[in-house]
Amino acid sequence: MSEQEKSNALRSVTITTKQEMPIALGTFEYIAGIDPRETWAPFSDDEMDVEEFEKMRTKHMDIIKSQESTKEFQDKLKEMLQESLTLYQGIMSANGDVFKPYIEGRMFNFVLGMPRTGGTTVYQGLSDAYGWPWEKLLLSMTHNFMPNGGHILSDPTAEFDMGWRLPWNFNNLVFELSQFLVYINNVAPDSEHIFIKSTALSYAVKLLNFLFADKANYFITVRHPGAITMTSGKEDITREDHMETMAMWSNLYSSMIRECRPLGRMRVVEYGAGMTEIINLAFEQTKVGERIEETSFFELDEYDKDFYESDAVKRMFDYVKTSWELFDIDFPIPDKCI
């Protein structure tokens, strides 16, 4: 051993640890050959038929269970997991030769924002404009269910939740993102624009910044928090419901920007006419698809106006706006409850 090698040996130690990381549901569905179009069936115009979704999920789990003990299923699963693990290790060791081939030549478009803010409409519209075959891809891999939100943030209303920074969450999140990258590399290898919609990833822009740098675009869907609460499907809306939504709203939209300057472009998409404008602009730029007509958006009258006009809530709105102004980005605070 040379003197240099001896010197290096004194400064590092090799540790081998046993760690269990979750396999994404979408990986199982992909290996089992679940029809992607079927996974989108319960969704229509940003609404989800919960009963139909549960029936579909039960059916697909039965299909997976019927196959998972077969040699063909196990061989395919091992092959995908080995590639995902190699990619994961490349990311963790900052080995660009391993992970750059999955990213270079592509633009990753993340549709972020609170639930019920038009994210699905934006996701599908922009996907159509840029040729991302969303309807041929598994819902569980591209729309809110992967990565697992629990690996990103345990309490969406807690501003100082360490979330994905915790070692076990971080490892799980990177491994799930590795499975996503392997999946799209297999099923859509020629797509230059890749889209994923995820509310949970709104809290992990700093990590996305590290992984994708300027290869990422962010479309941030925004809606009045009162409208989000009023359209939640709950029969009896209380002041506590509005308070919980407002806490999550404030934390989510400030979390996106307060920790780092995103290297990729961020565009805020306001619920209403702003959504139509963004989608139509994409159609005009790509010359793909036809312009869509503006949908009628109704202003809600029966909501807790006293709460949203209170000084406490105004300070929360100001906090979000100021967080974005630090990076010279204007964040529009919704003035209509639509």
Alpha carbons 57 and 172: distance in angstroms, whole number: 23
Tell me the pLDDT band of 9, cut-offs 50, 70 and 90. low
* Average pLDDT of the segment spanning 146-160: 85
Q: For 100-131, how does the pLDDT look when each residue is reduced to its tens digit (9 = 90+)? A: 999 999 999 999 999 999 999 999 999 999 99
Greater model confidence, 158 or 138: 138
Range with the lowest mean pLDDT among 27-36, 58-67, 232-241?
Answer: 232-241
Name 143's bridge partners. 197
Residue 47 has pLDDT above 90, yes or no: no
pLDDT at 45: 57
pLDDT at 4: 64
Alpha carbons 232 and 244: distance in angstroms, whole number: 12
Rg of the chain over Cα atoms, rounded to whole angstroms, equals 22
Which residue has 């990729």 as its token pair?
Answer: 264
Residues of the chain with pLDDT > 90: what percent? 76
Tell me the pLDDT band of 10, cut-offs 50, 70 and 90. low
Residue 44 has pLDDT above 70, yes or no: no
* Average pLDDT of the segment spanning 300-306: 91
The per-residue pLDDT of the chain, averaged, comes to: 91
Residues of the chain with pLDDT > 70: what percent? 96
Pair of tokens at residue 59: 């059916």
Of 246, 283, 278, 296, the closest CA to residue 121 belongs to: 278
Which pTM was predicted? Answer: 0.91
CATH number attached to the domain at 105-289+296-325: 3.40.50.300
Compute the half-sphere exposure of residue 146: CA atoms within 13 Å on the CB side of its CA.
25
* Average pLDDT of the segment spanning 22-39: 96
- Helix H, strand E, coil C: the string for 163-191 is HHHCHHHHHHHHHHHHHHHHHHHHHCCCC
Q: For 56-91, how does the pLDDT look when each residue is reduced to its tens digit (9 = 90+)? A: 999 999 999 999 999 999 999 999 999 999 999 999
Tell me the pLDDT band of 46, cut-offs 50, 70 and 90. low
* Average pLDDT of the segment spanning 4-21: 71
Range with the lowest mean pLDDT among 113-127, 200-214, 222-236, 253-267?
Answer: 253-267
